[in-house]
Amino acid sequence: DAGITQSPRHKVTETGTPVTLRCHQTENHRYMYWYRQDPGHGLRLIHYSYGVKDTDKGEVSDGYSVSRSKTEDFLLTLESATSSQTSVYFCAISVTAYGYTFGSGTRLTVV
């Protein structure tokens, strides 16, 4: 999607290892979000940011942390990956808190 990129696109990692996913935007949008998508659960909010160094928890934040040191980057870290964190992770951005632009997603497999 234009203006927002996620990396990596795919990752396989072992249980217990730390993992960091990156979301980068070129739109200078204030709001950034991390969601996970699982079959039967739609999209669930993990963490979000409303400015540089301003972050807060979503509904499924346990086991995840985030950082936003620059407007354009929002990092999601799995402190110690577990099999239950196997999912597709989407980053989203919003300029006005109305409507999101989503990235292409990161498919994470924890083995």
Partner 1 sequence: GENVEQHPSTLSVQEGDSAVIKCTYSDSASNYFPWYKQELGKGPQLIIDIRSNVGEKKDQRIAVTLNKTAKHFSLHITETQPEDSAVYFCAASIDTNAGKSTFGDGTTLTVKP
Residues that bind partner 1 (CB under 8 A): 1, 31, 33, 35, 40-45, 48, 50, 56, 58-59, 90, 92, 94, 96-105
Contact 34, 43 (CB under 8 A): no
Q: How far is the CB of 75 from partner 1 (least distance, A)?
A: 18
**Residue with smaller CB distance to partner 1, 40 or 62:** 40
**Residue with smaller CB distance to partner 1, 16 or 50:** 50
What's the CA angle centered on 78, arms 75 and 80, to 5 degrees? Answer: 150
Q: How far is the CB of 25 from partner 1 (least distance, A)?
A: 13
**Residue with smaller CB distance to partner 1, 13 or 101:** 101
Contact 88, 59 (CB under 8 A): no
Q: How far is the CB of 15 from partner 1 (least distance, A)?
A: 26
Strands 10-13, 106-110: pairing kind: parallel
The reply to whether omega before 39 is within 30° of 0 (cis) is no
List the beta bridge partners of residue 87: 108
